[in-house]
Amino acid sequence: MIDQRASYWYAFVTKPRHEKKADEALKAAGIESYLPLKKTLNKWKDRKKWVETPLFSCYIFSQIPYVNRYDVIKIPSVVRIVGFHNQPTPVRSEEITAVRQLLSGDHHLFVHDGPLPGDSVRIKSGPLIGLEGQLVEFRRGRWFVIYIEAIGKSVLVDMNEHLVEKVETILFHRL
C-alpha cells in the first residue's frame, strides 16, 4: 500500500485527442503535469508540416498525492486515473525521467503495447548515458526499450549495440 499523502507520478486517461487541453488545464490549475510530446511529420496533398503529437495517445502524467486525484479528474478532458483492482498505480519517477531524456534528443522513437523481453542493459555513452532498460531485437533491428508498467507501454529507441553494456538487474524498483 502506498502513502496516499505522498506525491507520486500517476497516469491519467484523457478523452481522445484531448491530451494537450488536459495539460494546459492542469498547468493553469497549478497542478504539476507532464505530457510527453514527439515531433512527427504530417503530410497532406499540398504540404508537409512538423507537429508535436503525444507519445502516448490518451495519457497524461501528473505528480500529486493520491488524495488529490479528484483535482485532476475534475478537469473536463480527463476521464480517470490509471489503476488496477481499485488500487492506485504510481508511475516510477525513473520512468518519467527516462522518457524525458529519450525525448530530449533527435532519436527515432516507437511505442509498442506491452513489455518486450530482452537483455537488461545500461547505456554507457552518448546523450542517453546512464539510462537502463532492455535491449531487444524487434522489426529487424536492435532497440533500447523503457517499459512504463502503469500504462502497459514500451518506448523503443533505435540503438547501436556498442553503446550499451549488460547489467544484472534494472535499478527501477516498485514503490
DSSP 39-66: EEEEE-SS-EEEEEEESSTTEEEEEEEG
The separation between CA 10 and the C-alpha centre of its own chain, rounded to angstroms, equals 11
Q: Which pLDDT score is estimated for 169? A: 63
Q: Mean pLDDT, the chain, as a whole number? A: 90
Closest by Cα among 72, 67, 52 to 11: 72
Spatial contact of 63 and 9, defined as CB atoms under 8 Å apart = yes
pLDDT band per the 50, 70, 90 thresholds, residue 141: confident
pLDDT band per the 50, 70, 90 thresholds, residue 138: confident
Residue 156: pLDDT over 90: yes
Q: Which domains does the chain have, with CATH numbers?
A: 7-91 (3.30.70.940), 93-166 (no CATH)
pLDDT tens digits, one per residue of 29-45 = 999 999 999 998 899 89
More confidently predicted of 152 and 108: 152
pLDDT band per the 50, 70, 90 thresholds, residue 2: confident
